[in-house]
Amino acid sequence: MVDRNATSIGRDAGPLDANNPTLGTNPFWAFEYLFTNYDVLALEERIILALRGIQPIYFPLLAIFTVPVNSVAIVILSRGKCGLSECVTRYLVAMAAADLVVVVLDLIWRHIPMTYRDQFSFLWSIPVCNFHAVLLYADADCSVWFTVAFTFDRTLAICCQKLKLKYCTKRIAAVVLWTVALVSCLKNIFWYFMLTGEYNFHNDPFICRERPGILESQIWAAVELIHYIITPVAPFFLVMLFNVFTVRHIVMANRARRRLRAPSNGETPKDPGMESRRKSIILLLAVSGNFVLLWFVFMVHSIWNRMYWLGYRVKVPPEIVQRTGYVLQHLSCCTNTGVYALTQSKFRQQLGMALIYPLTRLARVFK
């Protein structure tokens, strides 16, 4: 059986390996190696080293930015003063909370310690990796499927007026969100038995060391492949399908309303119904489009990597795909708040008030 870690260009190249004793203590070793050997490296190796080199800067900055941004978004949305329905608010709060937990479990507890091994070496001696994996993958499932649930809810609200009053309510939203969370936890328990409690120092899809025989087991391979199909492949196509239905319905409805409301003098009055649908579709497409764009590379690598280890070894998944997927996937944890700010004027107002509030309090103290 080929060593899973040997497929990486860095581990295959020897000096590029971050675990090399001469390089492993320096989190910025990739930039040093890139600048020293730039002329003799191939283009792919240069890109991989550049991606490795930005991680010691990118991961901490993203964590510093994402934690307060998502926390503020949760507070603002929870107050219910953004002009959104209670149903939509619950979905958006759940998505922001799931993204925040992903940042803690994956970015802060996994990738930053992996990048700064010497500074966080005490974490790797705690044998809780398989428990950590269950929580991480369950929360990632919640983050993705909350987006699917929100997209489906908006599709029903826009396309099926008869079902809107029955389904698009805060009670149904709560039931859906708690069901998704419970199913996600139950679905990912298998990681506890598939992995050990020992952390894996390599930047692999598995954050823990596998139990003996796991990689060679066709049963576990099938289970892992189903896991990646459920998240993120199925959500990816469901979100796209729901958006196609929604956009098609809105285009047809707007054409019909324009014909019915067309005045004899040729002037087109403002239509509050069309304006409301326009705002809804902008929010929907922005949230779901953000998910599709930022998860696409990670999805491709996950399926490609699992198919490779099932024996379909046409070509090993390039490391550049894996690292680009990680960068974009983690970026998705903070972009939804930016989406709300760009598409919702009342959210921007509340965000401005939240940013000004500490300054006003300080001013009062000094006065």
Rg (CA), the chain: 24
What is the pLDDT, as a whole number, of residue 8?
A: 37
Residue 169 CA, chain-centre distance (Å), reads: 26
> What does the CA dihedral 202, 208, 212, 216 come to, rounded to 10 degrees?
-70
Question: Given this model, what pLDDT does residue 145 score?
Answer: 94
Amino acid identity of residue 61, one-letter, is L
300 contacts 325 by C-beta, under 8 angstroms: yes
Is 81 in contact with 350 (CB distance < 8 Å)?
yes
Q: Classify domain 70-366 at the CATH superfamily level.
A: Rhodopsin 7-helix transmembrane proteins (1.20.1070.10)
Strand-pair partners of 130:
none
pLDDT along the chain (367 residues), means of 10: 36 42 64 87 86 89 90 89 88 92 91 85 85 93 92 88 86 95 94 89 71 80 84 87 85 72 54 64 78 80 71 67 81 79 79 79 74
CA end-to-end span of the chain, whole Å? Answer: 72
Q: Give residue limits of the domains in the chain.
A: 70-366
Residue 130 CB-density burial (10 A; 0-12 exposed, 13-18 middle, 19+ buried): buried
SS3 209: strand
pLDDT at 181: 96
Q: Can you give the pLDDT at residue 223?
A: 84
In contact, 354 and 78? CB cutoff 8 Å: no
HSE-CB at 241 with a 13 A cutoff on CA atoms is: 9
Separation CA 71–CA 78 (nearest Å)? 11
Contacts of 113 (CB under 8 A, 6+ apart): 119, 120, 123, 124
Give the integer Cα–Cα distance in Å for 24 and 17. 8
Model pLDDT, residue 227: 86
